[in-house]
Structure 1
């Protein structure tokens, strides 16, 4: 007991840092945003489906190579989404903000492996990954 009283600040610091590490791990497991590199890994190794939730005009101006366009407002019941809800979904938009909201929406709808790309198309482009434009 004497040790605890004399070293209370060390104990508080240890518990606090452990709590922050646990919180960060839980955030990732709940579908936090992933890097472009992690997105490519999911697509290549786990057959993830890349979905761009931008509006059609934004999608036509430039999108990640191989992405499907399902605008944010049309996610509910979209036929372009895989019927197998166990497949990972990698969501993207111009900046990543809409994709993060879309990922949360899709996780609530049963797509438990829906994640967004941090930084969106901008981060994808900066990573040197392929971009294509629709005609």
Structure 2
């Protein structure tokens, strides 16, 4: 079980790193919509989104495997809460994909300030997950 936990942590860290950086690219894209760097930023965003999607799958599957091995059908309340926050992270990931498509079509209507705030969401979600896993408040 320790190997599964170790791999789960590695994939989570990698996935979250991508979710921390992708909105930073959106900030730059929102600030520079017509320069030569736009295509390079879009290419970086596409590759990063694809890579983080690839990392998300084993992170989630390993987490489910861990939960089943450790708790079976009798999962504690804190784990239910954690899984809910994980669903929010997956939703955020898909929202990033949707925003990327808008940038690719030239249909983005939001400014860089929105993306600076949007960039803080995964930090709050990760904070909630870590507190739920470590502190187990309920």
* Structure with greater helix share of residues: 2
> Which protein is bigger by CA-based radius of gyration?
1
Normalising by structure 2, what TM-score?
0.23
More strand by share: 1
| TM-score, normalised relative to structure 1 | 0.24
